Structure 1
Amino acid sequence: MSRPRPRDLVPRPDPAPGQSHLRRRLADRPDLRDALLAAVAEVVEPDGTPLGSRLDVAGDPTVVLVAELWSRVADSVAAYTELAAGERYLRTAQDWTDLRRTTDLLGHRPTQRVAAHGWIRCTTDAGASPLVPAGTRVQAPGTPQRAAQPFEVVEDTQLRADWADLTVTAVPSPQVPPGSAIRLLQDPGWRPSDRVLLLAERPTAYVPQPSSWGDWLQWILLYYFGAASSSAVVGTVSVTKRTDDLGAFLFTMDRPLAPLIPAEAGTTYAAYRVRSSLQLARRLELLSYVDGGVAKTAAVSYGSEPDAVQAGQLLVVDGSAATPGIGIVVWNETQAHVTTVSSVGSLDWSVAPGTKHRVGVVSLSEAIPWSPSGSDLDVALVDPRVLAQHYELPALTAGTKDLRIHPRPDIDHVPPRVAVETSAGWELSTCTLSSGDTAGDVGGMLLTLGAGFAGDAATAPATANLVPIEHGTTKTGPLTLSGPTAVVPGPVTGDVDATGTVADSLVVEVAGVRFDEVPTLYGRGPSDPVYSSKIAADGRLVLTFGDGVHGVAPRGEVTATWRVGGGLAGELDATLVDTLLGSVRGVRTIVGVGTTTGAADQEDQGRMRRGAAARIRALDRAVSLADLADLALTVPGTSHSAAWHGAGPPGCPCGGFGLHVAILRTTETGARAPLAAELTSMAGYLDARRDISVGLCVCAGVSSVLPVTVTVAADPRRDATAVAAAVAVALGDPDAPLAPTPRVMGVPLDDSDVVAVVQPVTGVVGVVSLAVTPGLRVPSAGELAIGRTPAERYELLSLGPAAVVTS
């Protein structure tokens, strides 16, 4: 076996010049190991030849192992040394650009603007199933208070005709008919003037409440093998009106139904439409005569001729309406028998001595189980059995997750989400096919929501023709190279994926070849089509291409596609997005549903300092509770975070004790609770950086803005009104220590914190009294005594509207 060729060892180039006290480590651990091996190979022996000329340094496992161990030691020492020094440097930066350079040396890239996402519902032409292409532009028109906000469709979205013009109710519930109408979920085919026979059914072996093993065994046998049942006719009603009712069928009868089919344990009710009533054949049974002036009777004998009523056969006056297989009901005052006709014939039958008539012979598939008597027996030919169970279509109450949509969509295309107009407005939720749905229910489809709605909905309009949108506009154009750099006009918008990672919207091509973005060009080969980027204070991106040594030098036209816009300006009431720019064939109108969420502004100086420090502490992995809170802060849009072990907020996803991380999102005026999708994204981000064998509940924090009433003593030489106004301005300052941004979750608000803001205001002599409205937790007597407003660990306390009084 030939010896493998030794791997070439090329020393890494020296890092670019930087500050003497802080230099970013440009190589990773394998780079350091290879550089160490290359240095060993270049050691000159006494005879003047390099050590690598006679020793395979890269192929000797012992030498490689020693180099690997030393590189690990050097990596750890260098990392913590640089990061510790870098954290001190964060406080020295004076402006955004200076701070960005400092955080870049620490390996922290300031996040660019992130686009808000939302949904629009589309009204389509009748019967149309149009495709809405990706990039279709929609807009929230501008107002005197707000500029127009552009949005674009995220992906090609197929709309469906059977997803439009839906109506939603809660799952139909069985009830006793409240009046003379009965609502059925399947069409029995009844029409006005039809007569309907109502029967009560009860298993003969019915066990009202199983309590013993024997009772339960009987229940099991009845369930799997069926049981004989006794039936009784409870009445005959006539249909006076038929109405199609949201996929159900409402039949109005000629009299109230509650007395006929009441709720009774163990009893079901069946309905049979009467096709025809059969009259039993009758003949002379008694002969009357006068004997010696006395009236007497004598039974008439007909020899071997059959009786009109037998267990398995009936003789009727006219059997022409009966055919084999048709349903037949035979009943008296106490019981009924339901079966089918097995055969129909005729017979010359004596109706009186010496007189015969032709009668019909109707044979039954199943014999009558009791001894029938023709004098009190009724017979009817009927349609198949229909369950006589009335269903109400109740309102969909807040929080309910099961609903019914009508008309029924194609089972092969169950809508992934549905929007419903509730009492709280149009609301949207993901949905799946309910386990209780039956394919034969042509009137509606049962769905299970991913999350219940906040409002109620009674026979509410709904649609599943929903299209995802994102804030901003796509740009495409050439980039001008200036040496190795090019500038992309901004603000360039990024996006956050399901794992919480920011994905840049920029796509760069050079002479038709796509280049990939990398954190640094250091260590890249001369043929690697890559570039790096830096974000500027105004949101532009400065691209740096290779020079032919580190990365390939661009030759040819440089073109790019990117998105501009984004930021918190895109978070708005989605109903404002109601303008389709251009047209899509088959789409008449569009309007947003819910709110657009998930946006973040480009990092400002304060957030950049917090994010860089959190990244330094966490090192992109979660080992402790503090690491979880720090990692959460590095996700764009997160304003506050807290981690603890114990009980979570009321209604949190886990519903119990364990590890919890609570987060809040940045808004233009403070902080808000995250939505479900944002919590899911955060959970994915943390799961990629922690031991997922340990349960973790990512939940929404609570932002409590507390109103305050302050009475101050004003300098008598100054205008008291002006002093009060100045105090109100100081308390409402968004950059002051009492505003949401600088505060921390779980930290109480002390009266002294308020006094520290009020007292320095010009014209304030002192604070006479102070009252802060409590948050989630009522202060204890001890807390009241020291002027403390307590906070739950998942709660952010900040000062709200201030009422200032002077004395």
Structure 2
Amino acid sequence: MNANPPGLPAIDYRAGTHATFLAALLRAFGADPVLRALGTHDGTEPLVATADAYSMGLDVLTFYTERIANEGYLRTATERYSVLELARAIGYELRPGVAASTALAFTLAKPVPVPHAPGVEVPTIMHAVTAPEKITIPVGTRAQSVPGPGELPRAFETVEEIEARPEWNAIKVPVTMWVPPALGDDELYLKGITTGLNPGDMILLVGNERLGSRYNENWDVRRVAGVRAVDRVGDLAEHTVVTLDMPLGTTEPLVHPTREGQRVYAFRQRGALFGHNAPPWESLPVSMRYGEMAQTGGGPHDVPHWVPGAYAGRQDSWADAYLSATQEDVFLDRVYQGLTPASWIALATPSYIELFRVEEVDETSRADYLLQGQVSRLKITGEHLNFFSPRNAVVWCGAEELELAERPLYGWGGGTVVPTNGVPGVVPGRLVAVRGELLRGGSRSEVARVASVVGSTLVLETGVASYVPVTVRLNANVAAATDGESRTEILGGGDGAAAFQTFTLRGTPLTYTSASTPSGTRSSLEVRVDGLLWTEVPSLYGQGPTARVYTTRRRDDATTVVRFGDGVTGARLPTGRENVRASYRVGIGAAGNVAVDKIALPMSRPLGVEEVINPVAALGGTDPEVLGQARANAPTTVLTLDRIVSLRDYEDFARSFAGIGKAHAHLAWNGERQVIRLVAATTAREPVLPGTVLHDNLRAGIDAARHPGHQVVLETFVPRPFTVVMRLVVEPGRAYADVSAAVTASLVDTFSFEKRAFGQRVSAAEVLAVAQNTLGVRGADLDVLSTGSGGLAVTLPAAPVELLTLRAENVQLTELREPLP
């Protein structure tokens, strides 16, 4: 028997083979004085034929001896039974797989009174409603998936009891927010889409500050630069967005827009002051300026005479003269309808504008500046009236009030705080589903548990994404659910005279769900004997003679055997007829990982339930463990012993946790202390996302086993596929198609999810070595090694949370017929 170094996939345990045994016998014949005279070693010689047969027997014997020896070691065993028994010897059971977990959102019918003729007295029962105002959805409420091509339907059942109400079907979130106009804003939001505004119109923003003081400057008159009417979209009311030609307020000097009682007015009329169209003073004939010129002469008895061009004070009160700062009345150039006391007007020049409050309005006849006619007289209050003249002032009047609107929330920041329009009765601890269109595009739905309720605001345990508020709907009629269908059966009758009595469950496979136990699973089986619940234990060893316990074993055909004690290690079953009953669920595996909105067939329908849907995909379903996985995971039982001390323990504990396919732990500095960062991936090669059942249970399991002084951070792994472009030189006589297919398969296998580690880099030399070691490859030239669009990298680095893998579609091979340079 040869020496066997550690790490071999099989051990050499044979003392010899047919050839070596036969050769040894023939040599022995030659050494014997009696048999030395044997003249032939031909197989026709009876003695040689006997030695050949004996050698064949030894060959068979040593072959099976070697096989038995290989089956005695976990690394080299090939039989499932051998792996099972070797694993059980150290307290490890092959993981049974895990049922997928999701959440079911129920839609309830809204209560509607039964119609009856008015004034007609009807029995009280006729006043009932067609649906209850609230119902209880019990544990075990079942729904079924809608199978796609090549799929089978999967049954899911709720695992928690919830109260459901119709008003929780589609809870809305606020779609607008009151945002008062502020310094620098260049838009105003107005209610309705019939504001009558057009570009070029003037609008006023004013508030209580200006009403309290004629000298207050917290007001703005702006020209409309653009108008955009927005029709009703869902819960978002129709409104108008007005773009201003200048931002509100000023920075030099600093003047804010009004902050108290903000009101918006549209000036519907544009006018002028009386005299704006008077002829210029200089153009009047001298005769018309008579008496308006300065008088000159000697003493009081001198005859007065007029000097043309020596103007007196009348010119200063002509239409070009500025108004008096103390006057209260102004005259418009005509009669304007719709002007009322307590309204607003604005006087404007090309470089200045001022706001005035109208105190009185009447119509009067006005004659001046060689003009006359019926005009509107306004008594106004304000300041800086002396900045305007009849000639240069433009009058904006006819102020019509428009109503400010709340601003639409075009983006909802997500997170853990979710404002709503009312959630009566929602209590902490229940699940809610959030569905809507994402800000970055596309749609999504999520499920989170309520941590607290503050007024009409929900505070969630985990954050949600950023949505377009008008599309968001929350459903609080949500219950956690797992894959599997409930069964109840009579296992048989107990026999007090029988030790280690066993029963086999008829339903297969038994459902196991994700849990925070060291193994990561929990059985759905409940066994009652004479109505009393018995407890499942990993082993009967150490159990007392009266302990009502049992163990389970899974056979290769997926059936489950239930085994009871012998009265020494675990209690015997009491004698009875059909007194052993079991309730459990069947269904397990990755086939239960159905997509969003696939579970849509309610199989059990409590009164009032109209629809059911899974707002999130079912995740965490894993198939039973295979031999290759058991070889790697079984030793972790004795490495961790269900406790975590070292950094390696975190990896071993996570890898032995049901549903986890790969894990890596490393130390990192957070600025204050070293923390343990653990990155893990599921057996389905997916990240372990926060908020999922698997993530929460893994976290709880680690917390229960780790040192309390260690700070642990669970990180989400990032898959990073890379691209390989290579030219191959194929050996003469070999088909290029066969060789390239072999190279692709070898590359994909070498850089697969199973064989690569988190943070492991990939080098160009490594890629070339894999290709050149493939049968039929004479040479290889690597052109592209990249995780992006192209380029040849010497080494592809990877962060601790990244996993560099290669897919077949990312391998591009071409034949190189010329010799390599």
Q: 2:487 aligns with which of 469, 472, 475?
A: 475
Tell me if structure 2 keeps the 8 A contact 1:711–1:806: yes
Instruction: Quote how far apart the aligned CAs of 1:602 are.
Output: 1.6
Tell me if structure 2 keeps the 8 A contact 1:516–1:530: yes
Q: 1:410 aligns with which of 424, 444, 447?
A: 424
Q: Which residue of 2 aligns with 1:460?
A: 471
Tell me if structure 2 keeps the 8 A contact 1:87–1:616: no
- The 2-side partners of 1:703 and 1:511 are apart by 53
Structure 2 residue 744 is matched with structure 1 residue 739: no
Pair 1:509–1:152, CA change in 2 (3 A): same
Moved more, 151-160 or 580-589: 580-589
Q: 1:77-126 CA distances to partner (integer Å, 9 max, x unpaired)?
A: xxxxxxxx999932132222211211111122222121111123333222
Counterpart amino acid of 1:773?
S
Q: Which residue of 2 aligns with 1:214?
A: none
Structure 2 residue 701 is matched with structure 1 residue 692: no
- The 2-side partners of 1:676 and 1:175 are apart by 38
Q: Which residue of 2 aligns with 1:547?
A: 566
Q: Which residue of 2 aligns with 1:100?
A: 84
Q: 1:535 aligns with which of 541, 554, 567?
A: 554
Q: 1:313-345 CA distances to partner (integer Å, 9 max, x unpaired)?
A: xxxxxxxxxxxxxxxx99999999xxxxxxxxx
Tell me if structure 2 keeps the 8 A contact 1:97–1:536: no
What secondary structure is seen at the aligned counterpart in 2 of 1:676? coil
Q: Where in structure 2 are the equivalents of 1:712-751 lying within 5 Å?
A: 712-732=728-748, 736-751=749-764
Q: Which residue of 2 aligns with 1:514?
A: 533
Instruction: Quote how far apart the aligned CAs of 1:586 are.
Output: 1.9
Counterpart amino acid of 1:110?
L
Counterpart amino acid of 2:511?
T
What secondary structure is seen at the aligned counterpart in 2 of 1:606? helix
Q: Which residue of 1 aligns with 2:411?
A: 396
What secondary structure is seen at the aligned counterpart in 2 of 1:629? helix
Tell me if structure 1 keeps the 8 A contact 2:742–2:774: yes
What secondary structure is seen at the aligned counterpart in 2 of 1:112? coil
Tell me if structure 1 keeps the 8 A contact 2:550–2:565: yes
Instruction: Quote how far apart the aligned CAs of 1:591 are.
Output: 2.0
- The 2-side partners of 1:625 and 1:170 are apart by 48
- The 1-side partners of 2:717 and 2:735 are apart by 42
Q: Which residue of 1 aligns with 2:97?
A: 113
Counterpart amino acid of 1:519?
P
Tell me if structure 1 keeps the 8 A contact 2:264–2:402: no
Instruction: Quote how far apart the aligned CAs of 1:584 are.
Output: 3.3
- The 2-side partners of 1:772 and 1:491 are apart by 45
Instruction: Quote how far apart the aligned CAs of 1:730 are.
Output: 3.7
Pair 1:564–1:621, CA change in 2 (3 A): same
Pair 1:774–1:334, CA change in 2 (3 A): closer
Counterpart amino acid of 1:104?
R
Q: Which residue of 2 aligns with 1:497?
A: 515
Q: 1:205-242 CA distances to partner (integer Å, 9 max, x unpaired)?
A: 9xxxxxxxxxxxxxxxxxxxxxxx9898989xxxxx99
- The 1-side partners of 2:235 and 2:642 are apart by 55
Q: 2:679 aligns with which of 662, 683, 686?
A: 662
Q: Where in structure 2 are the equivalents of 1:232-381 lying within 5 Å?
A: 265=256, 267-270=258-261
Q: 1:739-783 CA distances to partner (integer Å, 9 max, x unpaired)?
A: 211332222234454455544544333333364334899998xxx
Structure 2 residue 720 is matched with structure 1 residue 707: no
Tell me if structure 1 keeps the 8 A contact 2:784–2:792: no
Instruction: Quote how far apart the aligned CAs of 1:159 are.
Output: 1.8
- The 2-side partners of 1:375 and 1:497 are apart by 82
What secondary structure is seen at the aligned counterpart in 2 of 1:522? coil
What secondary structure is seen at the aligned counterpart in 2 of 1:97? helix
Pair 1:538–1:797, CA change in 2 (3 A): farther
- The 2-side partners of 1:142 and 1:88 are apart by 44
- The 2-side partners of 1:722 and 1:565 are apart by 41
Pair 1:455–1:97, CA change in 2 (3 A): farther
What secondary structure is seen at the aligned counterpart in 2 of 1:622? coil
Q: 1:378-414 CA distances to partner (integer Å, 9 max, x unpaired)?
A: 9xxxxxxx998743121235655544333x2216657
Q: Which residue of 2 aligns with 1:60?
A: none
Q: Which residue of 1 aligns with 2:812?
A: 803
Q: Which residue of 2 aligns with 1:211?
A: none
What secondary structure is seen at the aligned counterpart in 2 of 1:147? coil
Instruction: Quote how far apart the aligned CAs of 1:693 are.
Output: 2.6
Q: 1:132-173 CA distances to partner (integer Å, 9 max, x unpaired)?
A: 332222122222232222211222222222222333356725
- The 2-side partners of 1:717 and 1:683 are apart by 57
Counterpart amino acid of 1:136?
T
- The 2-side partners of 1:684 and 1:462 are apart by 31
Q: 1:430 aligns with which of 440, 443, 448?
A: 448
Q: How many residues align?
A: 562
Tell me if structure 1 keeps the 8 A contact 2:80–2:627: yes
Q: Which residue of 2 aligns with 1:220?
A: none
Tell me if structure 1 keeps the 8 A contact 2:248–2:257: no
- The 2-side partners of 1:203 and 1:434 are apart by 45
- The 2-side partners of 1:778 and 1:87 are apart by 49
- The 1-side partners of 2:760 and 2:75 are apart by 23
Counterpart amino acid of 1:567?
G
User: Which consecutive residues of structure 2, in runs of 5 or more, have no partner in the other structure?
Assistant: 1-68, 112-132, 193-203, 222-228, 266-341, 346-353, 358-377, 383-400, 817-821
Instruction: Quote how far apart the aligned CAs of 1:273 are.
Output: 13
What secondary structure is seen at the aligned counterpart in 1 of 2:261? strand
Q: 1:246-305 CA distances to partner (integer Å, 9 max, x unpaired)?
A: 88887889x99999987964841316999xxxxxxxxxxxxxxxxxxxxxxxxxxxxxxx
- The 2-side partners of 1:565 and 1:137 are apart by 13
Tell me if structure 1 keeps the 8 A contact 2:688–2:695: no
Q: Which residue of 1 aligns with 2:398?
A: none
Instruction: Quote how far apart the aligned CAs of 1:580 are.
Output: 1.7
Structure 2 residue 114 is matched with structure 1 residue 123: no
Tell me if structure 1 keeps the 8 A contact 2:416–2:460: yes
Structure 2 residue 651 is matched with structure 1 residue 629: yes
- RMSD value, Cα: 4.6
Tell me if structure 2 keeps the 8 A contact 1:704–1:775: no
Moved more, 535-544 or 765-774: 765-774
Pair 1:726–1:563, CA change in 2 (3 A): same
Tell me if structure 1 keeps the 8 A contact 2:103–2:478: yes
Q: 2:208 aligns with which of 200, 210, 230?
A: 200
- The 1-side partners of 2:690 and 2:779 are apart by 43
Counterpart amino acid of 2:99?
A
Tell me if structure 2 keeps the 8 A contact 1:400–1:453: yes
Query: Percent identity at matched positions?
Result: 23
Tell me if structure 1 keeps the 8 A contact 2:699–2:714: yes
Pair 1:178–1:137, CA change in 2 (3 A): farther
Q: 2:157 aligns with which of 152, 155, 170?
A: 152
Instruction: Quote how far apart the aligned CAs of 1:508 are.
Output: 0.9
- The 1-side partners of 2:188 and 2:542 are apart by 84
What secondary structure is seen at the aligned counterpart in 2 of 1:681? helix
Tell me if structure 2 keeps the 8 A contact 1:708–1:800: no
Tell me if structure 2 keeps the 8 A contact 1:129–1:159: yes
Tell me if structure 2 keeps the 8 A contact 1:743–1:797: yes
User: Which consecutive residues of structure 1, in runs of 5 or more, have no partner in the other structure?
Assistant: 1-84, 185-195, 206-228, 236-240, 275-328, 337-373, 379-385, 440-444, 649-653
Tell me if structure 2 keeps the 8 A contact 1:183–1:248: no
Counterpart amino acid of 2:717?
G
Tell me if structure 2 keeps the 8 A contact 1:137–1:580: yes
Pair 1:398–1:271, CA change in 2 (3 A): closer
What secondary structure is seen at the aligned counterpart in 2 of 1:688? helix
- TM-score scaled by structure 1? 0.60
Q: 1:28-84 CA distances to partner (integer Å, 9 max, x unpaired)?
A: xxxxxxxxxxxxxxxxxxxxxxxxxxxxxxxxxxxxxxxxxxxxxxxxxxxxxxxxx
Q: Which residue of 2 aligns with 1:359?
A: none
What secondary structure is seen at the aligned counterpart in 2 of 1:658? strand
